[in-house]
Chain A
Amino acid sequence: MSYEILEKLKKSIENYKDNPEWEEVGKVIEVADGILKISGLSKIGALEVLSVESSGERVSAVALNLEEDSVGALVLGNCEHIKAGQTVKRTKQLLSISVGENLLGRVVDPLGNVLDGKGPIFGAKDKFENYNLENNAPNVLNREGVNYPMHTGIKAIDSMIPIGRGQRELIIGDRQTGKTAIALDVIINQKDEENRPICIYVAIGQKESKVAKIMQTLKEQGALDYTIIVSASASSPAAYWYLAPFAGCAIGEYFRDKGKDALVIYDDLSKHAWSYRQISLLLKRPPGREAYPGDVFYLHSRLLERSAKLSKELGGGSLTALPIIETQLGDVTAYIPTNVISITDGQIYLESDLFYQGTRPAVNVGLSVSRVGGSAQTKAMKKVAGKLRLELAQFRELQTFVQFASDVDEATKNRINKGRIITEILKQPDLYPIPFEKQVLVLYATLNGHFDKFQPAEIKKIEEEFLEYTENLHENLLAKIKKERQITDETEEDIKKVIEKFIETIKK
C-alpha cells in the first residue's frame, strides 16, 4: 500500500511542469462581512476573479469597486480564514460557470458547484463550455419578435395573459399567494410541449427545505429531467444570492445560443435586490431610495434584457424569463416592484384577497397584462378566449352593482351566473396544468354558453368529466387542435358536436 502511494507521488512529481512567471498581486487591507479591501492590483479589470491565499487554501473573490488606491472585492466562499496582509492574485478571468447538457436534472450553486450529492457534473470526456455570468444582451439585429407561445398550463394565464417564448413576464404578489406554484406549474406543463424548453429554476435566499421540496415535486412530476436548479440558499452568503440569477441566466443563454428554447425562473428578485443592497452598503457605495444603490435598476434591467428570441440566423433559440417579486401588503408601488414592472413585458398580479376567497390561482385579471404575448398566442386560443377578459370585467361590475340591489332582472341574473361559471372554470389546483388543446375545448364550451344551465358549484366536476370524456372518446379532436393550433369551421362543428354529446350523457 505504502509502495503504491510512493509510486503515485513519484509519478505526479515527474509529471509536474513548472511555469515560472511574474504574477500581479495585491495585499488585503481590510476584511469584514464578506467584503475585502485590497491595496495594489492597479491594473485589475471590473468583475475580475481574484485568488486570495489564505492560510494554505485559496479563496476566490470578485472585484466590484475599483478605487483610486484600493480595490473592493466580494468574497466567494468562506472568509473566516482571510486576514489582513494576505496576498491576493489576479486571475485575468471573468466570473464564469461551466455549462453543458450534463447540468440537466442537477442542483448547483451559482458557481456551478454540485449541491445534490450526485457526484461531479462533467467527467473528463464530457463536453462543456464556460459562460460568463455577466454577458451582453443580444442586440436589435440579433433578435426577432416573440412568435411562439410558452404555454403555462394555467387557463387564466394562457387565455388572458399569454406568454411567448423570449418574453419576460413578471409574477408579482404578496407572500403565500401562489407565485412559486405558478412557476412550478409552468415547468411541469413543458413536459409534453412541442420543442420542449429547458427550464432553469433559480432559488434566491430560499430555505434549503423548500428547495428540496421543489426538487422532489419536479422529480415526482417527471419534470426534473429537463430542469436545472440553481440554488443560493438562505444560509449562503449575500454574494451567492447576488450571483444566482446571473448564473441561471448564463445557463439559459447556453441553451438559447444552441438554438433551443429555455425558460428561467428567478425566485425571487426582491431578495436579490436585498442582497445587492447589502453588498453595496458594505462596499460603501452611496445609498439611494430605500437604501438601495443607484444602479439597482440597471442590475435587474441588464439581467432581464438577456432574455430574448434570437433571429433565425443565430439559430432561433429563445430565453424566456419569469422573474418573481414579493410585495409587502400588496404594495406594488414600492421601489423594486415598480422597477421590475417597467422592465418586463407584462405582469401576472396575484392577490391575497382572491387567494383567501378560493380563487386559485389568485390572478387579478384586471391588473395583469402581457404586452407581447398576444402575437405568440395560438389562433385557436385567440378565437376562443378573445371575449373572456371583457365578459369577466362586465361580470365584476355587475356583481358590485347587484350587491346593493334586491330585485334583479332575468338578463342580469343570467349574466351573473355565467360570470360565476367562468370564475369557477378558471380555478385550477396546484400541480395540475392543463394542455392548451384541452383548455381550448373547456373555454369554448363555457364561453359559448354550453355550461350555462349548470350551477357554478357543479362546474368543477363537469369540467373534469368533460376532459375525461374528450380524452377517452375524442382523442382525435384534441390531437387535431394541438397540431393545427387553430379552429377551422370544420373543427368548430366537431367541437360543438362533442360538447352536445357530452351534455346529453350528463342528462341521462
Chain B
Amino acid sequence: MKYKVKDYAKSLVEILSNNKLNDKKLTISFIKLLERQGDFAKAKEILEQAEFLITKQQGKKSVVLETARKLTESQKKNLAKFIEKGDIVKEKINPELIAGIKIIVDGERQFDQTMLKKINSLFKK
C-alpha cells in the first residue's frame, strides 16, 4: 500500500513525541521503512511536512523571508516584532526581486512588498 507524504509525516511526529525512544534507532528504522516502501525520494518532503506539523502543534509558525540581498541587522530588528520565539525562520535570497521583501507564513499566506511585484502591477495597468 502506498502512503501519502502527510501520513508519513504524521506518524513521524507522533513517534518523535514519545520521549522514551532512542533517536538514532528511530532514524535508522524510519529510513529503512522508506526504502522498503520505495518512498525514499519523498524523504525531504516528509521531513518538511513533519517540521511544519511540529511547529503548528506548538502554536508557532514557519516563516520564509525572501529578499534580493542579505537582510541587514536593522531590517532584522524591524522584523523581530513579527517573528515570535520558537518560529522557524528561513532566509532566502532571490536577486530577481530587485528590492523589498516577501514574507511567506506557513507556506499559505504571503505578504509581497517587492519591487518586482510593483513593477509588474505598474506595467499590467
Contacts and interface: CB of A to CB of B under 8 A. Distances in A.
Interface in B76-125: 104, 107-113, 118, 120-122, 125
B6 interface: yes
A23 B110 contact: yes
A503 to B, nearest CB: 72
Contacts of B122: 12-13, 16
B76 to A, nearest CB: 20
Given A12-B125, A69-B4, A69-B6, A18 B118 contact: yes
Contacts of A27: 107
A40 B111 contact: no
Instruction: Please tell me the size bucket of the interface on B.
Output: 10 to 19
A65 to B, nearest CB: 15
A25 B107 CA distance: 7
Nearest to A27: B107
Nearest to A20: B113
B100 to A, nearest CB: 11
Contact of B108 (A12, A13, A41, A56): A41
Interface residues of A, number: 21
Contact of A40 (B108, B112, B121, B125): B108
Contacts of A42: 108
Interface of A: 12-13, 16, 18, 20-27, 39-42, 56, 68-69, 87, 89
A22 B4 contact: no
Contacts of A68: 6
A26 B108 CA distance: 6
B33 to A, nearest CB: 20
A89 B125 CA distance: 19
B118 A16 contact: yes
Contacts of A22: 109-111
Contacts of B109: 22-25
A25 B111 contact: no
Given A24-B110, A41-B108, 16 more contacts: A16-B118, A16-B121, A16-B122, A18-B113, A20-B111, A20-B113, A23-B110, A23-B111, A23-B112, A25-B109, A39-B107, A42-B108, A56-B120, A68-B6, A69-B4, A87-B110
Contacts of B5: 69
A85 B104 CA distance: 14
A24 B6 contact: no
Interface in B16-53: none
Nearest to B120: A56
B124 to A, nearest CB: 8
Contacts of B121: 16
